[in-house]
Structure 1
Amino acid sequence: MACQGNPMIRPGVFGRRGFLVAGSAAGLGLSLPELLMHQAAAEKKQYDFIKAKAKSVIHIFLPGGIAQQESFDPKPYSPLEYRGEMGTVKTNTGEVICNSLPRLAKQADKYCVIRSMSHGEAAHERGTHNMFTGYKPSPALQYPSFGAVVSHEYGPRNNLPAYICIPNVPNEYAGTGYLPSKYSGFALGADPARDDFKVRDLNLAGGVDADRFVRRREMLEKINQRFNSATSADNVSAMNTFYERAYGLLDTPAAKEAFDLSKEDAKMRDRYGRNQAGSRMLMARRLVEAGSRLVTLTYGSWDMHTNLTTGIKSQMPAFDQGVSALLEDLSERGMLDETLVMVTSEFGRTPKINADAGRDHWPKVFSVMLAGGGVKGGIIHGASDATATEPDSDPVSPADLATTMYHLLGIVADKELMAPGARPIEIVDGGKLVNNILV
């Protein structure tokens, strides 16, 4: 079974480096205990070398595949059928992005755009898998999402779930994969933009006071002790973990309060926008501020095969306002340097406008945005070619992006976790650090 949390050392489980060490040590006549001791010391030295720059991640996922041309990678000098109807706006760093993002244009010094993201999966499900796990889909194994891995490595903080999804777990690839179910994301269960928003299960049931709650909890623990001894099923262990975390939330007023948007000043609510995008992003800020390690939120539907310009003009303003407010707010609170904000989608859109005035799926090149948490602001990494057809320089894969994100969190991306059948599987296989964007 994999070691949980930190330190990141698994006694008795060899990774690739371990077998290399074993081969060389055998020639020196070391015993197995001596070999394990040397390996543990070497691994600890290696893992201690990575110092986390980000304490938390806010992952903003735009489902459907947002068009790079109508967002962060416009092509103003290409023919109309390629560049589309939208124009451009100059950023405060002298670059240009689509004029659908006027607020973000004024804050380009706070974020980095990777314009050379690339993978080969043109189906929504497979592209989503790539962007939530860093792996290509496999029929043999379900890989864990970023949030599940972070929850596994670090666990809860301040009695808040390590991994939270707004408003719900967005897709099947945002789950735990081969990791135990207890590392699942905590879903709010409702949209924080709703006037009647309330997070499920954060308050005692009607007629149950604190004393009655304690008695119920003690009774449940006695029953569970006998039941747990009779089974080792993952779902039973997970349920026990969920109960304990729920108790922690119920017993911690500050943790419960993090989910209450009514505690925010009305001007701050207006600043983010009283809509889905703004409310979800403001909630994400509250949750990482209170201690959650990775918050995933979704906004919009960007699968615009028809009437692309209309769709962009409808959905982009709330996104532009919400992300801009989030970056400003984090910066003003002194949180941006330790909070990684990551805006992704499953892929981009075709270089050429189709017959229905839309763009179709295109995984060969697209854009993502990163800010804070050890990422340089005010830079563009990589480039697409003149028609946004493929990378022109410095392509970045989902594995590279995942490796870089984990590195910023202080997690060694090629550390091996244990999959079913006692198979050691690397958190990310073959990813490279995107060093150019790191502070």
Structure 2
Amino acid sequence: MPKSPAPGTWFADPSHFGRQSRRDFLYAGWAGGVGLTLGQLLQSQSLAAENKGEQPKAKSVIQIYLSGGFAHMDSFDPKPDSPVEYRGNILSTVETSIPGVRFSSHMANTAKVADKMTVVRSMTHSDVDHGRGQHSMFTGYRPSPALVYPSLGSVISNKLGQRGAVPPYVCVPTQGSEYFGSGYLSNAFGPFALGADPARRGFQVRDLNMAPGIDDARFDKRKGWKELVDDHFHRQANDDSLATMNSFYQRAYDMLSSPEAKAAFSLEGEDEATKELYGIGGGQSTSTGPRFMIARRLVEAGVRCVTVTYGAWDTHSFHYRGIERAMPDFDRGFSGLIQDLDQRGLLDSTLVLVTSEFGRTPKINAGGGRDHWPRVFSIVMAGGGIKRGQTFGESDRLAAEPADQPLSVEDYTHTVYHLLGIDGGDYLMSPGDRPQRIVMDGKVVPGLLG
């Protein structure tokens, strides 16, 4: 019999061999202009439940997803005294603005603003495949064959609704994981994805502008035709659902004609000093800067959850070659985002999360790479009620296991919802009118709170 590949290696993960399904190409959002999907999306404008008692610390979330599995020992949790086959022989370390805490030298800019964040060095779960790790980290639930659970952004959209003319949940530049979707909830609570990379020249958000050949007069004429059709159906059946859906379409039209909404999805009007913060301009090449800047603009405009995907961190071979450019680019953009939010007075009300589906193996493999490692890895939490200037938890001397204060998926997710004013123990309804807890068995972690 052929030998099974070792868990965590490239060959052991079935997602590396799976063909893309039709679902990979279809996601909730404005897939076809002003049509049914946009109308469904805007159902999330239905009245949001009012928060009772204490006001939530966080009004918005920026969730940064480092796709593929981010190497904790080469970024936020270096182990310079470990054997060379563990620590690698490439990166040095730098002091941070947290006394006694060091980061990898590729994170030199972030090290300067570490006093504005909490670095969790003890995140842990047991799911070694990409899909299972993503489901765990982005929904708060371990994967189930019976049910796909809704993502953080979709729960926020469901529980808190929409502010202003912008969607409550946006993915930049695309929906980077199928588990960023609405799960068992209606597609109405799924994300609106930009469909284009803000770092590309000529960036323009798909479906936010009129189609070629459609001017305001023709647009208004089409709205008039729709009103005639609506009137016909209302005469045939006086159904509340028809009136409700009509209101969603009306809001969709309002959004297309909103200058404020269009401005939120643009990078125009930013001054040179702000661009420099993000590493934009000055002959520098950056992918993160424009993505993180547009995330800030979106939360300024009222978007409740922005998920930004960056990088390809699945470095099973030639690990250090793979991170040599990507990690400094992330470092520039992320440190700029934190500084920009702080200078604008937005950091205290904006929860910023840096996550991945898992970390990388502490020991370098024969191909010069690092494989999948969920047993301990690092995430970053900043703003929105998170304590500033600390590390939470520790890994052991090889960055292989939690040594102190392990943080579970359930406790992490419950804490995030708490900061947003959402009770993680509350229920949502899955198909068949079966109640499901938002988070099962999680609890708020006081040590993360400011």
| TM-score range relative to shorter protein | 0.7 to 0.9
Alignment partner for residue 61 of structure 1, among 44, 61, 65?
65
Q: Establish whether residue 151 from structure 1 lines up as the match of residue 162 from structure 2.
A: no
Q: How many matched pairs?
A: 398
Match of 1:438 in 2: 449
Deviations 1:303-322 (A, max 9, x none): 11112222221211110000
Q: Which SS does the other structure have where 1:89 is aligned? A: strand
Counterparts of 1:194-213 in structure 2 under 5 Å? 194-213=200-219
Match of 1:84 in 2: 88
Q: Return 188-197 or 216-225, whichever deviates more.
A: 216-225
Distance 2:45 2:297 in 1: 30
Change (3 A) 1:357 1:207: closer
Q: Which runs of 5+ in 2 are unaligned?
A: 1-43, 281-285
Q: Which SS does the other structure have where 2:268 is aligned? A: helix
Q: Is the 8 A contact 2:45 2:162 kept in 1?
A: no
CA apart distance, 1:78: 1.1
Match of 1:180 in 2: 186
CA apart distance, 1:3: 13
Match of 1:391 in 2: 402
RMSD: 2.4
Q: Is the 8 A contact 2:169 2:190 kept in 1?
A: yes
Distance 2:231 2:144 in 1: 38
Alignment partner for residue 169 of structure 1, among 166, 175, 179?
175
Distance 2:246 2:129 in 1: 37
Match of 1:369 in 2: 380
Change (3 A) 1:417 1:241: farther
Q: Establish whether residue 287 from structure 1 lines up as the match of residue 298 from structure 2.
A: yes
Match of 1:316 in 2: 327
Deviations 1:229-270 (A, max 9, x none): 88x9x9x99987874453232221111111111222234223
CA apart distance, 1:65: 0.2
Q: Establish whether residue 191 from structure 1 lines up as the match of residue 197 from structure 2.
A: yes
Deviations 1:177-200 (A, max 9, x none): 111111110111100111111011
Change (3 A) 1:311 1:251: same
Distance 1:122 1:248 in 2: 45
Distance 1:435 1:225 in 2: 55
Match of 2:266 in 1: 260
Q: Which SS does the other structure have where 1:112 is aligned? A: strand
Q: Return 427-436 or 56-65, whichever deviates more.
A: 427-436
Change (3 A) 1:6 1:352: same
Structure 2 counterpart of 1:299, one-letter code: Y
Q: Establish whether residue 333 from structure 1 lines up as the match of residue 344 from structure 2.
A: yes
Q: Is the 8 A contact 1:4 1:153 kept in 2?
A: no
Structure 1 counterpart of 2:214, one-letter code: V
Match of 1:26 in 2: none
Distance 2:407 2:269 in 1: 40
CA apart distance, 1:397: 1.3
Q: Which SS does the other structure have where 1:263 is aligned? A: coil
Structure 2 counterpart of 1:101, one-letter code: M
Match of 1:118 in 2: 124
- Residue identity over aligned pairs, in percent, reads 51
Alignment partner for residue 414 of structure 1, among 425, 434, 443?
425
Distance 1:201 1:224 in 2: 23
Structure 1 counterpart of 2:49, one-letter code: P
TM-score normalised by length of structure 2: 0.84
Change (3 A) 1:129 1:62: same
Change (3 A) 1:4 1:227: same
Match of 1:216 in 2: 222
Distance 2:185 2:318 in 1: 41
Distance 1:177 1:409 in 2: 20
Change (3 A) 1:404 1:334: same
Q: Is the 8 A contact 1:127 1:346 kept in 2?
A: yes
TM-score normalised by length of structure 1: 0.86
Q: Which runs of 5+ in 1 are unaligned?
A: 9-46
Q: Which SS does the other structure have where 2:74 is aligned? A: coil
Distance 1:172 1:187 in 2: 12
Q: Is the 8 A contact 1:375 1:437 kept in 2?
A: yes
Q: Which SS does the other structure have where 2:72 is aligned? A: coil
Distance 1:238 1:69 in 2: 52
Distance 1:429 1:51 in 2: 24
Q: Establish whether residue 7 from structure 1 lines up as the match of residue 49 from structure 2.
A: yes
Change (3 A) 1:266 1:246: farther
Distance 1:166 1:238 in 2: 29
Structure 2 counterpart of 1:398, one-letter code: V
Change (3 A) 1:240 1:315: farther
Distance 1:61 1:392 in 2: 25
Q: Which SS does the other structure have where 2:336 is aligned? A: helix
Q: Establish whether residue 278 from structure 1 lines up as the match of residue 289 from structure 2.
A: yes
Alignment partner for residue 72 of structure 1, among 69, 73, 76?
76
Change (3 A) 1:178 1:264: same
Structure 2 counterpart of 1:7, one-letter code: A
Q: Establish whether residue 136 from structure 1 lines up as the match of residue 142 from structure 2.
A: yes
Q: Is the 8 A contact 2:174 2:196 kept in 1?
A: yes
Structure 2 counterpart of 1:383, one-letter code: E
Q: Is the 8 A contact 2:48 2:161 kept in 1?
A: no
Structure 2 counterpart of 1:88, one-letter code: T
Q: Establish whether residue 301 from structure 1 lines up as the match of residue 312 from structure 2.
A: yes
Structure 2 counterpart of 1:405, one-letter code: V
Alignment partner for residue 381 of structure 1, among 392, 403, 421?
392
Distance 2:207 2:388 in 1: 39
Structure 2 counterpart of 1:338, one-letter code: S
Q: Is the 8 A contact 1:182 1:238 kept in 2?
A: no
Distance 1:350 1:238 in 2: 51
Structure 2 counterpart of 1:67, one-letter code: A
Distance 1:221 1:421 in 2: 34
Match of 2:5 in 1: none
